[in-house]
Structure 1
Amino acid sequence: MELNGNIDHTNLKQNATQADIERLCDEAIRYHFATVAINSCWTAMAAKRLAGTGVGVTTCIGFPLGACSTQAKAAEAAQAVADGTTEIDMVINGGHLVAGDDRYVIDDIAAVVKAAQGRPVKVILECCLLDDEQIVRACEDAVAAGASFVKTSTGFSTGGATVHDVALMRKTVGDRCKVKAAGGIHTKEEALAMVEAGADRLGCSASIKIVEGQCL
């Protein structure tokens, strides 16, 4: 199976430089990845570099904690749209989710969906911090808010994507939205396992090694 078109080629490092993001974009063009996934300060530059190539820009919002205000997330998303993003990955408010405040969670996501102006919004659940009931509830909240994807992980917490979590998310959302697996996917075998479990998109920093079938 060719995975290239299912991958968001990712560099979300705190110390990533412009040269790093330019290289990420050039690699995404060469390997025909779906998008580059980047922090919002790089959106305008990446959008300009990728214009006309068929590779999109995924801007990460409220990253990596998701604990900023709804207004801040919506403003960051609106700026990303103005800067040329084609997709948005936002981090869910995990504290409100765990506390059972689903109304807050839905409104938080919906504000970003509105700011995205029709662009796909992927909601990062950070599954490693949740139990199965909370994962299911987070998926339902994301669907209720109009999200296009639910996503497993930021890659910055205590764990990344697992086959169990991806399968649970797919079972929960069905065909109501898509599923993205991200965090700790290092080999083609791991990537294929996520797709088999129900992932429509993969977020990877080891993208080139994965599609070339190399061992890390």
Structure 2
Amino acid sequence: MNLEKYIDHTLLKPTATQEEIKTLCKEAQEYNFYAVCVNGSHVNFCKEILRETDIKIAAVIGFPLGAMTTKAKIFEAEECLKNGADEIDMVINIGWLKSGEIDKVTSEIRGLKKAIGDKVLKVIIETCYLTDEEKKIACKAAVDAKADFVKTSTGFGSNGASIQDIILMSLAVAGKAKIKASGGIRDAITTKEYISLGVSRIGTSSGIKIVKTQ
């Protein structure tokens, strides 16, 4: 199993320097990762480094809280695409979801997908804050809005991915969206287990360790 092609090599900490972002991109090239995942301000810099490669650039939107306006998220996504992003990882409005404002959640995701067109949209539902029923509702909203992926976590919440959540999300999307597991994934055994359950992408800052021990 070529685990490197499942990995979004990730650096989202607020203190990330340009030198660290450059290292991230060079590591992605060396280990042939599928993508790098960064904050929006680093997209253009990553594009300069990765221009001659097939490595994708994923930008996080509304990160990590998801509580800004829909217009702000759409503008942020469009700006990232202009700067060279290939994929968008957006955080849902968790407060809307927990308030039962499902139409608002769905409409926001749909608006993001419309804005980015054929680019990949991953919807971060931040499972650690949700009940199982809310996780199912969030997955359905993402599917109804034609998102490409549902994603477990930002990595900034109280917990990350879990086997139980991956199984629940897989049943909830019923093959109508792919799944990205992220948050706390640090070893090859866990990575392989998630993939065996149907995960198509792994978001991790431990990609090098994972591929070296697969």
Q: How does 1:9-88 map to 2 (within 5 A)?
A: 9-88=9-88
Q: Match for 2:64: what amino acid?
A: P
1:175 is aligned to 2:175: yes
Query: How far does residue 117 in structure 1 lie from its aligned partner after superposition?
Result: 2.4
Q: Tell me the residue number matched to 2:190.
A: 190
Give deviations 1:167-213, integer Å, cap 9, x for gaps: 11111112211000000001101111111222110001000001101
Aligned residues: 214
Query: How far does residue 110 in structure 1 lie from its aligned partner after superposition?
Result: 1.3
Partner-residue secondary structure (3-state), 1:153: coil
Q: Match for 2:48: what amino acid?
A: K
Structure 2 CA distance for aligned equivalents of residues 169 and 52 of structure 1: 35
Structure 1 CA distance for aligned equivalents of residues 129 and 173 of structure 2: 20
Q: Tell me the residue number matched to 1:95.
A: 95
Please report the RMSD computed on the Cα atoms of aligned residues, expressed in angstroms: 0.9
Query: How far does residue 122 in structure 1 lie from its aligned partner after superposition?
Result: 0.2
Runs of 5+ consecutive residues of structure 2 not aligned to the other structure: none
Q: Match for 2:154: what amino acid?
A: T
Structure 2 CA distance for aligned equivalents of residues 48 and 103 of structure 1: 39
Give deviations 1:91-145, integer Å, cap 9, x for gaps: 0110001111111001111121122121000000000111111000000000111
Structure 1 CA distance for aligned equivalents of residues 10 and 17 of structure 2: 13
Structure 2 CA distance for aligned equivalents of residues 90 and 190 of structure 1: 24
Runs of 4+ more than 2 Å apart: none
Partner-residue secondary structure (3-state), 1:121: strand
Partner-residue secondary structure (3-state), 1:68: coil
Q: Tell me the residue number matched to 1:205.
A: 205
1:125 is aligned to 2:125: yes
Between the aligned residues of both structures, percent identity stands at 43
Partner-residue secondary structure (3-state), 1:9: strand
Runs of 5+ consecutive residues of structure 1 not aligned to the other structure: none
Tell me the TM-score normalized by structure 1.
0.97
Structure 1 CA distance for aligned equivalents of residues 115 and 80 of structure 2: 9
